[in-house]
Amino acid sequence: MTWGIISSNTSDEQRIFEKSFATNGHFWKRIGQKPNFYGKRVLDAGCGHGALAIDAALSGARSVVAIDFRKESVCFARSVLHARFPHLQATVEFLEADITKFHCKEPFDIIISRDSFEHFARPQETLQVMTTSLKNGGRMYVGFSPLYYSPIGHHFEFGFLPPWGHCVIPEAVLCVLAARRTRGPKPVSVADVGLNKWTPKRFRTLFNTSRLRIVDYQINRSENSLAKLFSFFAWFPGVERFFTLGIYCVLEKP
């Protein structure tokens, strides 16, 4: 899923896609492993411009269903598929839909989700639907950053702010700043610009109390020395939310 102020200019969307596609390898490294997609049915929850879904198809997936509720993102993903990966058109299907209302006829072998859980308006319902859509023994590969309370957890929705600036600025002011950058209805909360404000603890509780077995769960997985320093500070009570940049986990349905 890709938030931010998406310009109607195709070059902007192309830039977003190219960056995502080029960093798929980094994403799998942070997850800890790239799944064996060969011959598998795959669901991409919050597909954005389609980079990860296309990566799964290129890696041998039998079929890929990729869902995002943003029309602009889905339309662009379809156009890229048609123009650059025509041989995958029978394999990948991009759907404009609310993931919480998604129903599948046949469960998936693998579910993937990149940089979306910090945006989902209803993470509990989303995870429930994803779990129902996963076959027994199947795995979910979920990674997302930056979390809201981290230094750039604002995702630049309010313009340029200093690190953690959005954590101290009143929400009403943030909405005014966001309104200057939007073309649609004026936001009345940060949720209106796609930031759910969930804390690391809340996400951890969500995964721990789900029907899924946690195979691997890591924060701030990166070779960056600053990320490692942040991981150290994240252990201290009361400041975990401010130093948790991202969450990367592998979940399995018993």
**What pLDDT digit, counting tens, does each position of 200-237 carry?**
999 999 999 999 999 999 999 988 889 999 999 999 98
Q: Is 147 in the same domain as 161?
A: no
CA distance 195 to 158: 11
Structural domain containing residue 201: 10-151+195-252
User: Which pLDDT score is estimated for 120?
Assistant: 97
Residues 98 and 111 grouped into a single domain? yes
Q: Is pLDDT of 7 > 60?
A: no
Q: Mean of the per-residue pLDDT values for the chain?
A: 94
Q: Are 102 and 67 in contact (CB under 8 A)?
A: yes
Does residue 125 form part of some domain? Answer: yes
> What total of structural domains would you count in the chain?
2
Residue 40 forms part of a structural domain: yes
Shared-domain flag, residues 24 and 129 = yes
Buried b (16+ CB within 10 A) or exposed e, 148-183: bbbbbbbbebbeebeeeebeebeeeebbebbbeeee
Is residue 63 in some structural domain? yes
Whether 3 is in a domain gets the answer no
147, 164: one domain: no
What residues does 112 pair with on adjacent strands?
44, 141
- What is 159-227 written as a DSSP string? BS--TTHHHHS-HHHHHHHHHTT-SSSPPSSGGGGT-----HHHHHHHHHTSSSEEEEEEES-SS-HHH
pTM for the predicted model, two decimal places = 0.93
181 and 199 together in one domain = no
In-domain check, residue 2: no
Q: In the structure, what pLDDT confidence band is assigned to residue 10 with cuts at 50, 70 and 90?
A: low
The pLDDT-based confidence of 149 (bands split at 50, 70, 90) is very high
Domain co-membership, 63 together with 185: no
- What is the predicted pLDDT for the residue at 1? 55
Are residues 76 and 181 both part of a single domain? no
